[in-house]
Amino acid sequence: MTTLMMILGIVVFVVGLLFSIAWHELGHLSTAKLFGIRVPQYMVGFGPTLWSRRKGETEYGIKAIPLGGYIRMIGMFPPGEDGKLEARSTSPWRGMIEDARSAAFEELKPGDETRLFYTRAPWKRVIVMFAGPFMNLILAVAIFLGVLMTFGWNETTTTVRSVSDCVISAEENRDTCKDGDPAAPAKAAGLKPGDTIVAFNGERIEDWTTLQARIRDTMGPATITVEREGAEKVLHANLIKNQVTKTDGDGGYVEGQYVDAGFIGFTPASGIVEQSFTDSVDRMGDMMENGVEALIALPSKIPDLWDAAFGDGERKQDSPMGVVGAARVGGEVFTLDIPPENQIAMMLFLVAGFNLSLFLFNMLPLLPLDGGHIAGAAWESVRRKVAWVLRRPDPGPFDVAKLMPVAYVVAGIFVCFTLLVLIADVVNPVRIS
């Protein structure tokens, strides 16, 4: 049964992956057609074609390897300086440029002269190239907001999970009491597991972050209002100074760092809490920020990734994952001993996270990514505006094809990194619990 659920989870994730890719390419396709650019192909996947059908002037299809997708637009690059589409060169770098330029004009038909990508205004080209990643962002936001506002988010609550028997400094790193340890203020006050704290010193409390801050700022007598068996009860505690783990300001803890603060002595419970629209947007902002930070930190994670793939290094939870690793996690989600609605929510979060990553990654201003084409169109617009202001001749379209050697180097780096992640995903995968 576990194997069957694992396979089902992988299949569900792959379906979500294919939809995300198709959704991305639909953004490019729809805007390209809107601006009159001819699009001969719309493909989901790479490699051999499994299925295709031509509708109008575009062939729609699915390929064997679900690691991406593409649309083919006529005239991605302008002709060379001599106006020709192809002129062979003995230079390998120059050959790359000419091959890219020639490929951009494959299947050129009479009448296509007015339907070429490079002939469109820079702002239209920016829209066409941005539309793909933007579709992934829309999908990620829609899924995140939908799950957060209907299902909820697993977070620390103000409900008491357990009450400490004594006061122990966090730096001592022990759980059992010793003779001479003072009794915990929470126990002395009569706090019990299952109590939900609704007010502290007369101030209503809605979330754990606020309650934690109030407790840490208080030393001495305090009143704690709890909800117990449907009724509110006021408890009186005498908080003491103790060494506790430092917080990061976002509800997390800073490992190995301690501060002196007020202490009461109980462990809060965690649970699924539905989020308001405002809270959901705030969490989306945090996810976006974390995604940007993770993207910037990618190069620094390569040594650990190498050790995990070829050495005896530990595969960390925040290690980069590829499609294979994400699919494996998707399979594990369906094997967890949790309610079905939790499994569905986790799978949706996984697909949403994948779409957010696609958006951020594709916005890097590097060819052959969408962001590289956006940067090229933006630079062309700047050049033309500067020439107009200075009353100089129009410099014409920016020849992105000249950057193809750099694009091949970037693509080579991406391929090597993808292979490294793939090996790590197979031999030492990230696991969930």
- At 209-265, the pLDDT tens digits run 888 889 888 888 988 898 888 888 888 988 888 888 777 766 667 777 778 888 888
The one-letter amino acid at 393: P
As a whole number of angstroms, the distance between CA 357 and CA 120 comes to 29
- Residues of the chain falling short of pLDDT 70: 1, 80-108, 249-252, 433
Q: Do 195 and 159 meet the contact criterion of CB atoms below 8 Å apart?
A: yes
Tell me whether residue 179 is exposed, middle or buried, using C-beta atoms within 10 angstroms of its C-beta: 0 to 12, 13 to 18, 19 or more: exposed
Helix, strand, coil tally for the chain in percent (to 5): 50, 20, 30
Cis peptide before 368 (omega within 30 of 0): yes
User: Does residue 86 carry a catalytic annotation?
Assistant: no
Q: What does the pLDDT read at residue 132?
A: 94
**Annotated catalytic residue, options 25, 98, 332, 380:** 25
How does DSSP assign 85-103, residue by residue? S----S-HHHHHHHHHHHH
- Segment 142-146 long-range contacts (CB within 8 Å, at least 24 positions apart): 143/348, 143/349, 143/351, 143/352, 143/355, 144/280, 144/283, 144/284, 144/287, 144/349, 144/352, 145/277, 145/280, 145/281, 145/284, 146/348
Contact 272, 152 (CB under 8 A): yes
pLDDT, position 275: 85
The pLDDT assigned to 102 comes to 56
